[in-house]
């Protein structure tokens, strides 16, 4: 009987212990569960989320323009580019800008790349005007508005073979006419005839025989002088590819043989004109002494040329308005991107070609 008593007592005590342990386990489980409910939400990790981000409204005039320049080192073109960049930024456009480095193959690759990156319009300052058809084909395949600027082919109708293609530039013969008129005016009093032979002895610096602008500027400058009844004598004509250093080297050689016979120097642009000025300064001319001065005329009215004119180192230039050029380029591009006709709502007009907007030239002598 005592054994049974101890056994029952043992069972009773163990039952109480088991009940107590069970109760403790249940309480722990509840506390853990409650603790989980009170955990703070996790901090954002920056990983992908299914939430839709708030839409951003495009800037006024928004879009992307591919602007391809034939050569950044060209002084006039760099001025057009800086003006265009400023106007495009103000209008809210993104730009993809490229330097063709005076190489048409390089520019072709850049056009392909710009198109593949995604743009809404193309602005092309073509390296070789003979390659215009190829550029048009690229734009047409991508269904993009295309605006050529500054460099014009001999036959402007090429730009009209694609209905979304236009040209912004000058009337190429106009620069030559204005330059010639300035020379005629300077010759009028007879003082410019340095060797007294009754002929206007001149040196001409040519931009390049493959460039319609250079050809027209050269031809019409000389034609204007001849049409004024002045007898001329060409001492030298040098192709200097719009480059100041090439012009200086050529002028150095001409000066060495013909310094006393040169009455005027005509250059298709201001860079070449400045090259000629620097060659003359190297031999003591165009530095302020009126007895040692040969009038030099350029085209573009760059800041460098205007400063040279103010110092009496250069006689004059023909202003090719970079600011007006840049404004016209942007205006036509914006209209095209918005699905409008290129000159809709503007004061611009097409010339007789139906595809070209012309920016007028102006004479500049610092007066």
278-311 pLDDT, tens digit each: 999 999 999 999 999 999 999 999 999 999 999 9
Angle at the Cα of 219 from the Cα atoms of 216 and 220, rounded to 5 degrees:
80
8 Å CB contact between 183 and 261: no
Instruction: Band the pLDDT of 217: cuts 50, 70, 90.
Output: very high
Domain that holds residue 114: 63-169+322-361
Same domain, yes or no: 157 and 253: no
Q: What is the CATH number of the domain that holds 306?
A: 3.40.50.2300
8 Å CB contact between 176 and 158: no
8 Å CB contact between 125 and 153: no
| Residue 34 domain-assigned (yes or no) | no
* Number of domains, the chain: 2
Same domain, yes or no: 258 and 179: yes
* pLDDT 10s digits, 108-167: 999 999 999 999 999 999 999 999 999 999 999 999 999 999 999 889 999 999 999 999
Same domain, yes or no: 292 and 308: yes
Give the orientation angle of helix 212-227 with respect to helix 172-187, to 10 degrees.
Answer: 30
Same domain, yes or no: 309 and 206: yes
8 Å CB contact between 147 and 123: yes
| Residue 11 domain-assigned (yes or no) | no
Same domain, yes or no: 312 and 343: no
Instruction: Band the pLDDT of 61: cuts 50, 70, 90.
Output: low
| Residue 44 domain-assigned (yes or no) | no
8 Å CB contact between 222 and 268: no
Mean pLDDT over 329-347 rounds to 97
Q: Which of 169, 174, 187 is nearest to 361 (CA)?
A: 174
Same domain, yes or no: 197 and 301: yes
Tokens linked to 213: 């602008």
Same domain, yes or no: 219 and 203: yes
Q: Are strands 361-364 and 317-320 parallel, antiparallel or unpaired?
A: antiparallel
Same domain, yes or no: 192 and 239: yes
Distance CA 81, CA 83 (A): 5
Query: Cα dihedral angle (83, 85, 86, 92), rounded to 10 degrees?
Result: 140
Is the pTM for the entire model greater than 0.85?
A: no
Same domain, yes or no: 148 and 276: no
| List of residues 6+ apart from 10 with CB closer than 8 A | none
Tokens linked to 172: 């190429």
| Residue 332 domain-assigned (yes or no) | yes
Same domain, yes or no: 110 and 161: yes
Sign of CA dihedral 109, 110, 116, 119: negative
| Residue 3 domain-assigned (yes or no) | no
Query: Coil, strand or helix: which one is 310?
Result: helix
DSSP class of residue 159 equals G
Same domain, yes or no: 250 and 161: no
């Amino acid at each position: 009987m005592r054994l049974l008593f101890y056994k029952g007592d043992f069972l009773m005590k163990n039952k109480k212990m088991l009940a107590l342990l069970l109760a403790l386990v249940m309480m722990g489980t509840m506390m853990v569960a409650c603790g989980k409910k009170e955990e703070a939400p996790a901090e954002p990790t920056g990983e992908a989320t299914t939430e839709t981000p708030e839409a951003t409204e495009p800037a006024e005039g928004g879009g992307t323009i591919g602007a391809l320049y034939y050569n950044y080192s060209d002084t006039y073109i760099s001025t057009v580019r800086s003006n265009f960049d400023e106007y495009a930024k103000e209008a809210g456009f993104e730009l993809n800008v490229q330097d063709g480095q005076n190489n048409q193959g390089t520019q072709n690759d850049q056009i392909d790349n710009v198109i593949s990156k995604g743009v809404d319009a193309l602005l092309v300052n073509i390296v070789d005007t003979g390659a215009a058809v190829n550029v048009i084909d690229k734009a047409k395949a991508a269904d993009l508005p295309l605006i050529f600027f500054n460099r014009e082919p001999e036959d402007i109708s090429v730009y009209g073979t694609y209905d979304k293609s236009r040209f912004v530039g000058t009337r190429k013969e106009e620069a030559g006419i204005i330059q010639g008129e300035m020379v005629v005016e300077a010759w009028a009093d007879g003082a410019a005839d340095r060797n007294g032979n009754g002929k206007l002895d001149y040196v001409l610096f040519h931009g390049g025989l493959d460039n319609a602008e250079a050809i027209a500027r050269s031809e019409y400058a000389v034609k204007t002088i001849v049409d004024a009844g002045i007898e001329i004598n060409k001492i030298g004509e040098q192709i200097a590819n719009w480059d100041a250093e090439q012009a200086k080297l050529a002028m150095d050689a001409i000066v060495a043989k013909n310094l006393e016979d040169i009455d005027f120097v005509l250059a298709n642009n201001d860079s070449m004109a400045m090259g000629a000025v620097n060659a003359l300064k190297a031999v003591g001319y165009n530095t302020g002494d009126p007895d040692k001065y040969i009038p030099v005329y350029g085209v573009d009215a760059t800041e460098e040329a205007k400063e040279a004119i103010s110092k009496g180192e250069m006689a004059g230039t023909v202003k090719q308005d970079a600011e007006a050029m840049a404004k016209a380029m942007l205006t036509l591009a914006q209209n095209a991107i918005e699905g409008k006709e290129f000159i809709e709502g503007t004061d611009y007009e097409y010339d007789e070609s139906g595809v070209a907007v012309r920016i007028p030239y102006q004479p500049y002598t610092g007066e």
